[in-house]
Amino acid sequence: MTTQVNEQTLEDQIYELIVRASTDLPDDVVRALKAARRTEPEGTPAKNVFGMLLQNIDLAKKNMTPICQDTGTNLYYVHYPTGMSTRQLQQVIERATVRATENSILRPNAVDPVSGKNSGNNIGIQHPNIHFEEWKNDHLEFRLLLKGGGCENVSAQYKLPDSELDAGRDLNGVYKTVIDAVEKAQGLGCAPGIIGIGIGGDRATSHLTAKVQLFKKIEDENPDEELASMEKRLYRDLNSLGIGPMGFGGKTTVLGVKIGSAHRVPASYFVSIAYMCWADRRHTLTVKNGEVIYD
Amino acid sequence: MINLQLPIDAADIRKLKVGDEVLITGTMITARDAAHKYMIEEKPDFIRPYLENSLIYHCGPVVRKQDGEWQFVAAGPTTSIREEPYEGTVIQNYKVRGIIGKGGMGPKTLDALHEHGAVYLHAIGGMASYLAQTVKKVKEVFMLEEFGVPEAMWVIEVKEFPAVVTMDAHNHSLHTKIKSDSYAQARKLIHPVR
């Protein structure tokens, strides 16, 4: 089956997806921030930080302005039906991106590492970053994450075994690397963070596996029992570090922990940690039989 | 809450201590990675009047131009530690009284704060829409062509911009304390006593 795309309509829909991602924080993240505020004692900087973050979230939504000025790397994960042109889809995404940049929904964020020049319109090599995957369904799905540089800079990758951490090639070893990475991050990734973890793979797939965990909703349960229990243990122990929002100290250092895995070769055992700032800007656009759903 | 009016001199800045919450009003300038490299390597003189007895804001804003005037649309702080190699020298050379950013800075900057009379003010990361509204006027912009929007040096007039003192002029840093406490807790979790 060949699916025809009305390019202008789709461009408008993707533009709307970008606007939502940049200006309207997902409900599950807002709920987690509100719950975190309740746990911090009155009069502490931690409590005040949450109060101000929530004010900013309301303001950004009302005025349709970016929640954070670092509108980040725009990471797309696109599922498309058989017969559709990914080249065409990429062009549509790029046009919507240019428009969102012109309208100050996105900051011009594509810098050529060789010349140092900012392209000015968010178009560049691997920028926006789009992953395409064909699926058996006959509808289109665009997942978009805006991930800022501050939290990307504190993301990490470990190779097990790690003698310094006394971390072997098992889930307990994974646990130790995550504690180490989040402690090292301090407040620099705009804590409280959401922690995506990728176990296994090669270096590149390990990082990607970690990153796509960030598309999951905070309240989602991991279907794998062992991983679900590790997520809970890490959530509890990371919050005992006392780093707190912005690194000011407090009970909330992370809002959630999500783990995924990919098969590895016998010689390698990578653990990747994708640190997402509290402004977990992600939304999904589904286009199905002319119907459009944003989540 | 302490009202901090710019320009400010070293004696007044030394009155601030870690934990003080402030509201900043006055004229300051943004500078981040490219601007710091530029201030160290080229030592431009034309920006002196904007830096002396004022603050540097580590920020790469989202802007728009309306009726020929620049406006800040989103303008939260960026991570400050990247400027650690430069900041002490910048504070000394340009008589800067403080840095606004996020994440805190290292020992070199802490020494410079102490020696020259300056503070580190922590703004809240990701509070971009709110903080942009405290920017009442964009007075000038330098190096826009050369550095691009995020890296340009924007001279802005702010009103009641909220921040917390996390490093003061008396060698105190909140970041050092949080780091050592959380490091100790992390070691306990990583190497449990068997």
Specify the CATH number for the domain of residue B30.
Answer: 3.20.130.10
Q: Per the domain annotation, does A44 fall within a domain? A: no
The predicted-structure confidence for A233-265, as pLDDT tens digits, reads as follows: 999 999 999 999 999 999 999 999 999 999 999
**How sure is the predictor about A2, in pLDDT bands with cuts at 50, 70 and 90?**
very low
Task: Note whether A173 and A225 are same-domain residues.
Answer: yes
Q: Dihedral sign, CA of A117, A120, A122, A125?
A: negative
How much is the pLDDT for B193? 80
Task: Note whether A137 and A245 are same-domain residues.
Answer: no
- The Cα–Cα gap between A48 and A52 comes to 6
Task: Note whether A86 and A181 are same-domain residues.
Answer: no
- pLDDT, one tens digit for every residue, chain B (194 residues): 899 999 999 999 999 999 999 999 999 999 999 999 999 999 999 999 999 999 999 999 999 999 999 999 999 999 999 999 999 999 999 999 999 999 999 999 999 999 999 999 999 999 999 999 999 999 999 999 999 999 999 999 999 999 999 999 999 999 999 999 999 999 999 998 86
Q: Per the domain annotation, does A215 fall within a domain? A: yes
Task: Note whether A160 and A262 are same-domain residues.
Answer: yes
Q: Per the domain annotation, does A28 fall within a domain? A: no
- Please judge whether A166 and B124 are an interchain contact, meaning their C-beta atoms are less than 8 angstroms apart: no
Task: Note whether A268 and A286 are same-domain residues.
Answer: no
Task: Note whether A214 and A194 are same-domain residues.
Answer: yes
> CB count, 10 Å around CB of B81?
19
Burial of B1 (0-12, 13-18, 19+ CB in 10 A): exposed
Q: Per the domain annotation, does A110 fall within a domain? A: yes
Identify whether B36 is a catalytic site residue.
yes
How much is the pLDDT for B194? 66
How much is the pLDDT for A131? 97
Number of folded domains that form chain A: 2
Q: Tell me the pLDDT of chain A averaged across its residues.
A: 96
Task: Note whether A93 and A226 are same-domain residues.
Answer: no
Task: Note whether A104 and A201 are same-domain residues.
Answer: no
Q: In chain B, what residues touch A176 (CB-CB under 8 Å)?
A: 189-190
> Closest Cα to residue A103, out of B123, B175, B126, B74?
B74
How much is the pLDDT for B85? 97
Q: Are strands B2-5 and A140-147 parallel, antiparallel or unpaired?
A: unpaired
**How sure is the predictor about A3, in pLDDT bands with cuts at 50, 70 and 90?**
low
Gap between the terminal Cα atoms of chain B = 48
Q: Dihedral sign, CA of A295, A17, A153, B133?
A: negative
Interface-testing mutation among A64, A160, A163, A246, with chain B (most B C-beta atoms within 10 A): A246
To the question of pTM greater than 0.90 for the whole model, the response is yes
Task: Note whether A161 and A89 are same-domain residues.
Answer: no
Q: Are strands B135-142 and B153-167 parallel, antiparallel or unpaired?
A: antiparallel
If you measure CA to CA, which chain B residue comes closest to A175? Answer: B190
How much is the pLDDT for A1? 42
How much is the pLDDT for A276? 98
Domain containing A111: what range?
7-23+67-148+281-294
The predicted-structure confidence for A10-33, as pLDDT tens digits, reads as follows: 999 999 999 999 999 999 999 999
The predicted-structure confidence for A199-210, as pLDDT tens digits, reads as follows: 999 999 999 999
CA angle B155, B142, B111 (to 5 degrees): 65
- Please judge whether A56 and B127 are an interchain contact, meaning their C-beta atoms are less than 8 angstroms apart: yes
How confident is the model over A87-103, as a mean pLDDT? 97
Task: Note whether A127 and A12 are same-domain residues.
Answer: yes
- Please judge whether B151 and A56 are an interchain contact, meaning their C-beta atoms are less than 8 angstroms apart: no
How much is the pLDDT for A15? 98
pLDDT over 90 at A197, yes or no: yes
Distance from CA of A168 to the nearest CA of B (A): 12
- Please judge whether B74 and A48 are an interchain contact, meaning their C-beta atoms are less than 8 angstroms apart: no
Distance from CA of B126 to the nearest CA of A (A): 4
Number of folded domains that form chain B: 1
How much is the pLDDT for B45? 96
Residue A243, token pair as written in the block: 């780093």
How confident is the model over A271-285, as a mean pLDDT? 98
Task: Note whether A263 and A156 are same-domain residues.
Answer: yes
Nearest to A183 among B130, B148, B186 (CB): B186
How confident is the model over A117-132, as a mean pLDDT? 96
Task: Note whether A81 and A156 are same-domain residues.
Answer: no
Domain containing B120: what range?
2-190
